[in-house]
């Protein structure tokens, strides 16, 4: 908290600005896009504050930064989703999940966690299926598969039973779960039925998820510092 907390102050301030201004979604503009993306820009700065050499030498951190960049582009597209840019935003976030999955890695494999995540995602898609039509029938299926895979890789890194987890692995796991809650709320609200307080739920879980995933990128730096102190 002492080492990383101060670097996150701009993010918290930008998030507060978004919720205080609460610009109407019925009037999309470049200003509203800027306000929505500002917390994600602050997470770019948070990672860059650890140094370019850190990002270059640690692929997981650089991939999370790349994921945050695509997320910001996706956020901008979703500002104009009613004008036909929802699929563009969906594509940007699909790329984000691929980058995050790559950052979390494939070790340990943990097939049990993968099976559980597969069942959860399959159940979600089975519920959404009857509400989907046209290209969304398969686009949503692919997207759910990608975010489910990302969630699996984040959960697999925990290894609670083996006592091998770290606080950064925990933040990645919680962040991935919150990301899934945010996206599920979007899907329910867009395709199925109005969700009460949907925008608040979507954005609160989304910003928290992105912050926690960004925090998970500093793990390799913490390990280096520990080895130096040892």
Give the predicted TM-score (pTM) of the model. Answer: 0.93
Altogether, the residues listed in the chain come to a count of: 230
pLDDT value of residue 159: 72
Given a contact cutoff of 8 angstroms between Cβ atoms, the answer to whether 154 and 175 are in contact is yes
- The dihedral built from the CA positions of residue 216, 218, 220 and 225, taken in this order, carries a sign that is negative
Q: What is the pLDDT of residue 230?
A: 42
User: Other C-beta atoms within 10 Å of 65: how many?
Assistant: 20
Cβ contacts of residue 135 below 8 Å, gap of 6+? 87
pLDDT recorded at residue 161: 62
- Residue 216 belongs to what domain range? 2-226
SS3 content of the chain, % helix, strand, coil (to 5): 80, 0, 20
Token readout for 46 is 């948070």
pLDDT value, residue 162: 61
| pLDDT tens track for 23-46 | 999 999 999 999 999 999 999 999
Q: What does the alpha-carbon distance between residue 230 and residue 222 come to, in Å, rounded to a whole number?
A: 12
Angle between helices 86-104 and 198-216 (to 10 degrees): 30
Q: Are 25 and 199 in contact (CB under 8 A)?
A: yes
pLDDT of residue 101: 98
Pick out the chain residues at pLDDT < 50: 220-230
Total number of domains in the chain: 1
> What's the confidence (pLDDT) of residue 173?
95
């Amino acid at each position: 908290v002492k080492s990383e907390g101060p670097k996150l102050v701009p993010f918290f301030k930008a998030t507060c600005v978004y919720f205080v201004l609460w610009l109407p979604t019925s009037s999309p503009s470049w200003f509203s896009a800027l306000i929505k993306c500002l917390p994600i820009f602050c997470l770019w700065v948070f990672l860059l504050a650890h140094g370019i050499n850190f990002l270059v030498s640690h692929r997981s951190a650089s991939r999370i930064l790349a994921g945050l960049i695509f997320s910001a582009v996706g956020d901008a597209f979703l500002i104009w989703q009613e004008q036909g840019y929802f699929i563009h935003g969906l594509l940007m976030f699909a790329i984000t999940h691929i980058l995050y999955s790559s950052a979390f890695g494939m070790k340990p494999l943990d097939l049990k966690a993968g099976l559980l995540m597969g069942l959860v995602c399959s159940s979600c898609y089975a519920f959404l299926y009857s509400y989907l039509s046209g290209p969304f029938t398969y686009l949503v299926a692919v997207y759910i598969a990608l975010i489910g895979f990302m969630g699996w890789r984040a959960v697999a890194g925990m290894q609670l039973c083996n006592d091998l987890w770290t606080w950064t692995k925990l933040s990645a796991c919680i962040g991935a779960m919150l990301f899934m809650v945010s996206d599920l709320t979007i899907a329910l609200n867009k395709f199925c039925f109005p969700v009460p307080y949907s925008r608040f739920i979507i954005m609160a879980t989304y910003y928290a998820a992105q912050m926690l995933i960004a925090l998970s990128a500093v793990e390799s730096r913490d390990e280096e510092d520990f080895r130096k102190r040892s």
